[in-house]
Amino acid sequence: MGRTLVLGLGGTVDYEVRWDARVIGSLAARFGIRRRELTTTAPIVDERSLVVTILAFVVDGAGGERFVASSDVVKRFADRFTTEITLGGTGVRAGIALDRLGIPSVQHLVSMDDHVRRLMPPSISWVSSAAEDTLDPHLIVQYPAGTVIRFDDGEIVSPSSNRLIFANDPPNRRMAISPELGEALTDAGAFLVSGFNTMQDEILLERRLTDLDAALVQLPADALLYYEDAGFYVRRFARRIWAHLLPRIDVYGMNEDELQEYVDRPVDLLDASDVAAALLAVQRLIPVPALLVHTQHWAIAVGPAAARHRTALTSAVQMAATRFRLGDAFTAADFEATALLPRSARGEDVVAGVERKIAGSVGVPAFRIDTAMPTTIGLGDSFVGGFLVVHAPVREPQP
């Protein structure tokens, strides 16, 4: 407690496009896309297949992350929109959220370029495995609830807002571990591990996990290890992670998309019985001290050590809600103001129901926030940053 926060394993440069339903609709018409061909599972090999995938997510109001055959597809699509360049990756966005509260962190990065040097907050230092500068941007598409896309054969309307990520990022696929990581961990109070989900070479993954095992020898025994699932490109690779890290993981986090992938069925997030059944099923699959699922309605932790994380869970939900309503441009005062907002009544019902059904579980309902311009990008990352606030270095009072 109260020592350095080390966050990893890979950062990204994100191209955040400003949603424009007219541009999307014109692309659908130009490419002759029909509603019946919408799918989230087909390979994304060109701009047409990218638009097909985006529309398939929009029709369900779902979020997700997908691999693209070439970064050129990402760049070409982004050029059609007003685009903001930001920094991403779970560790980096968590660190940016912590920075807004004046909390420093150390990042482990696998790629580097001038955008990273320019945009990284001064409170964040880093170790990096990058041997040279590279730029392989991640496309971030954020769409609002009620957006309408018209086709030649009809239209679709999104039932909710969500975010999508598309990328071809060789440094993050390689996920080289810096030899400096072990030294950075020697004084860590908490270590965030995320990013292995983008790897696609099983032999290389095993090597990286072995490298991480070696670095973890220097992590203090009482330090918190938080693992964020983040949605595997190759689902079976998760078991490789578990074989190496489950004995050391204290908190294993995921969102509702990943929860539903693990149980292999839709989960009614507003039905306490259905949620409890899904949580128990994943807990049996991933037996960690605290399994944590965060959604737009609630965040709930189950497992033998779940109860000790109630304060961190409260802070995490508060941080995600602050980003949802204000984006990155928030202050410590804004963070505190969020705590005064009303809670989701339906989220409260689910939390109460799950806490009755699963002994030792703890939950926090989401806030009820009405905003015309919500930020759905990076909410899970900000959630993780909020969770780690309680493990932050103790700051000396200013004279």
Architecture label for domain 4-10+90-132+170-391:
3-Layer(aba) Sandwich (3.40)
pLDDT at 394: 64
Whether pTM > 0.85 for this model: the answer is yes
Categorize the per-residue pLDDT at 398 as very low, low, confident or very high, splitting at 50, 70 and 90: very low
**CATH fold of the domain at 15-85+135-167:** Adenosine kinase, small domain (3.30.1110)
Cβ–Cβ under 8 Å, residues 114 and 145: no
Query: What pLDDT sits at residue 399?
Result: 36
What contacts 126, CB < 8 A, 6 or more positions away? 106, 107, 108, 109, 120
Look at residue 188 and tell me whether its pLDDT is greater than 70.
yes
Tell me the pLDDT tens digit for each residue of 300-329.
Answer: 999 999 999 999 999 999 999 999 999 888
Q: How far apart are CA 300 and CA 316, in angstroms?
A: 11
What is residue 395's predicted lDDT score, i.e. its pLDDT? 56
* Mean pLDDT, rounded, of the chain: 93
- Three-state SS annotation for the chain: CCCEEEECCCCEEEEEECCCHHHHHHHHHHCCCCHHHCCCCCCECCHHHHHHHHHHHHHHCCCEEEEECCHHHHHHHHCCCCEEEEEECHHHHHHHHHHHCCCCEEEEECCCCHHHHHHCCCCEEEEECCCCCCCCCEEEEEECCCCEEEECCEEEECCCCEEEEEECCHHHHHCCCCCCHHHHHCCEEEEEECCHHHCCCHHHHHHHHHHHHHHHCCCCCCCEEEEECCCCCCHHHHHHHHHHHCCCCCEEEEEHHHHHHHHCCCCCCCCHHHHHHHHHHHHHHCCCCEEEEECCCEEEEECCCHHHHHHHHHHHHHHHHHHHHHCCCCCHHHHHHHCCCCECHHHHHHHHHHHHHCCCCEEEECECCCCCCCCCCCHHHHHHHHHHHHHCCCCCCCC
Looking at residue 155, what is its pLDDT?
86
Residue 153 scores a pLDDT above 80: no
pLDDT tens sequence across 51-87:
999 999 999 998 888 889 998 999 999 999 999 999 9
What residue ranges do the domains of the chain occupy? 4-10+90-132+170-391, 15-85+135-167
